[in-house]
Structure 1
Amino acid sequence: MSEEHSQDVVYKIFRLLRENVIKILTVLREEESIRWKELQEKTGISTATFNRSLAALQEVHFITKEKGYYRLTWAGRLLIDGFLLLGWRMADKPEDIEDVIAERVLAKDIVMVVLMIIFVSLRLRGRLDIKTLEEEIDRERSVIARLVQDFEDEGYLRRENGLLVATDKFARLTPEEFFSLGRP
């Protein structure tokens, strides 16, 4: 897979999430298994948008359809559980943590998620080329910069003295609004 294609896939997944499909993932997290009609009614998303969103979620393996029922995959569950762990839908603002500690905790959380995905991959595939994985992770880091730049351009983030700072506009976003950014 080329570097540009790989980065486009990650960017596409993030942009997909920004297009309000968080509602679908949330309903699937709550319902476990649900038919199309019920899922569409619970999300309130228009039929055309709903169908495109379902297809995109299946393409990136966040959901699956078995015997007429939609379900979260392990990746979809990991994603939505991550949102819950971040405090969305449970509290408006997580407890304040000293700045230095916050970055360390975030880095450890990221490493834990990556390790979990590596172990799942090893379990499924039986092997992993660690050197190639490390090289690809280094290449994918540019996606972070690209997405941060998008948020800066839209006025949700700014840079100050080496820090990335959330603006008031960003702080007021609900999860649904956050993932609806950039919709046409």
Structure 2
Amino acid sequence: MDETKDVVYRILRLLKENAIKILMSIKEKEKIRWKELQDITKLPTATFNRALAALQEIHFIKKEDGFYTLTWTGKLVCDGLLMLGWRLGEEEEEEEIEDAEKLLAKDIAMAIVVLLIISLKRRGKLNLDEFEDELVKEMKISRKILEEYEKDGYLEIKDGVIFAKEKLKEIDITGIFH
């Protein structure tokens, strides 16, 4: 499978390319016109338009009556980023959490259950076996994305353990996507 065509890969690449500014600006205003959004983000027109088109393509934003708004998935992404930033901001730097892997896995599993229920409510049915197969594929893509962050000097992967490098520790949550 070509990772560059995978949705998770495309979303994370998009977020690294300033789209987070657009998402958060729309979240703040709730409903915003193109010109005002560009003025707020201060992105070059071509970059701005590419990011807008990509955000619409992955259904994070929509345009109705000349206004851009977040879709339910766009709201979910923004809320997740805000929550993650808030949680990271309040933790002690030196404090090491025991069983961090288990806690993270439980948080992710809970998010998956919530998303499954939301999807089931909206669509009416879901093939659980097919979903599980796709989830395994997406986890492989996640590893590839982490390897890219390693190449960029943010982390190191050694013997199956991921270590944060100083470059990662020094940035805030939005910096992860730059």
Matched, 1:63 2:61: yes
CA contact (8 A) 1:6 1:140 kept: no
For the residues of structure 1 that align with 2:21 and 2:110, how far apart are their CA atoms?
26
Per the alignment, do residues 7 and 107 of structure 1 end up closer, same or farther by CA in structure 2, a change over 3 Å counting? farther
Equivalent-residue separation in structure 1 for 2:52 and 2:139 (angstroms): 27
Q: What is the alpha-carbon root mean square deviation over aligned residues? A: 2.1
Change (3 A) 1:59 1:21: same
Q: Distance in 2 between matches of 1:72 and 1:150?
A: 28
Percent of matched pairs sharing the same residue: 45
The count of residues paired between Structure 1 and Structure 2 equals 176
- For residues 154-184 of structure 1, what are the alpha-carbon distances to aligned partners after superposition, in whole Å with 9 as ceiling and x for unaligned? 111013464211100111123443212xxxx
Q: TM-score, normalised by structure 1?
A: 0.87
Task: Look up the match of 2:74.
Answer: 76
In structure 1, what residue type is equivalent to 2:153?
G
Asked if 1:117 is matched to 2:153, the reply is no
Aligned counterpart for 1:171 among listed residues 160, 169, 172: 169
Cα distance change of structure 1 residues 91 and 105 upon mapping to structure 2, 3 Å threshold: closer
- Name whichever structure is richer in helix by fraction: 2
TM (norm. structure 2) is: 0.89
Q: CA deviation at 1:144?
A: 1.2
Deviation at 1:6, TM superposition (A): 9.1
Q: Which runs of 5+ in 2 are unaligned?
A: none
Q: Does 1:152 align with 2:141?
A: no
Checking the alignment, whether the CA contact within 8 Å between 2:60 and 2:73 is kept in structure 1 is yes
Residues 20 and 177, structure 1, Cα contact 8 Å, conserved in 2: no
Aligned twin of 2:125: 127
SS in 1 for 2:18: coil
Work out whether 1:95 is the aligned partner of 2:82: no
From 100, 105, 108, give the equivalent of 2:106: 108
Any gaps of 5 or more consecutive residues in structure 1? none
Which amino acid is 1:95 matched to?
E
Q: Which has the higher contact order (CA 8 A, sep 6+)?
A: 1
